[in-house]
């Protein structure tokens, strides 16, 4: 498998070199809005530690990652009054992975509303900002100072 690239987009977001609409952070994980969302409230949850995907991640990173995924799944469902939540994750290009720092997609779902798919369309930054605010409020996240 190709080696982890420390200059991938999400590694830069974790280091604070690139911006994101942060919705949750703790010692081990970071969650932020997907800039090309497949549905309203689509967030990505990543471990801060380096891993390309599920095939090379340290198993010790998975507990904290899934704990944050559950927090965000409940959070986006409540924030957007959704009927359900999709949690998705891809490994290598053949499966659809495009950014090679492991990430979990957490996407609110409503009965009868299809996912928008990978259109490559950037969301309105103001809309993402207001959606992020809604999620932070719902889960009670006021920033992480660790
Ligand atoms: P993958 O296809 O690798 O599972 O998903 C990568 C996701 O990252 C896509 O949903 C895409 O919209 C999102 N994405 C790509 N570049 C950026 C970026 O610079 N910032 C944010 N917030 N999301 C990104």
Mutate to test the pocket of ligand 1, among 98, 119, 120 (most ligand atoms within 8 A of CB): 98
pLDDT tens track for 32-76: 999 999 999 999 999 999 999 999 999 999 999 999 999 999 999
Nearest CA to ligand 1 atom 11: 36
Task: Name the DSSP letter for residue 33.
Answer: E
Task: Identify the pLDDT of residue 118.
Answer: 74
Give the Å distance between the CA of 10 and the centre of ligand 1: 8
Looking at residue 63, what is its pLDDT?
A: 98
Round the average pLDDT of the chain to a whole number and report it. Answer: 96
Catalytic positions, please? Answer: 103
d(CA 84, CA 1): 34
Domains of the chain in sequence order: 9-111+122-137 (3.30.428.10)
Tell me phi and psi for residue 78, to 5 degrees: -70, -45
Is 21 in contact with 124 (CB distance < 8 Å)? no
């Amino acid at each position: 498998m190709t080696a982890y690239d420390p200059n991938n987009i999400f590694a830069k977001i974790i280091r604070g070199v690139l911006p994101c609409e942060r919705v949750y952070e703790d010692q081990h994980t970071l969650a932020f809005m997907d800039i090309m969302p497949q549905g309203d409230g689509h967030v990505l949850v990543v471990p801060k530690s380096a891993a390309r995907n599920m095939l090379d991640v340290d198993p010790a990173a998975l507990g904290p990652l899934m704990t944050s995924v559950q927090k965000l799944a409940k959070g986006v469902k409540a924030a957007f009054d959704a009927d359900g939540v999709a949690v998705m994750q891809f490994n290598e290009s053949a499966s659809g992975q495009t950014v090679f720092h492991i990430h979990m997609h957490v996407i609110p779902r409503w009965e009868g509303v299809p996912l928008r798919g990978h259109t490559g369309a950037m969301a309105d930054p103001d809309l993402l900002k207001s959606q992020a605010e809604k999620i932070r409020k719902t889960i009670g996240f006021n920033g992480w100072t660790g």
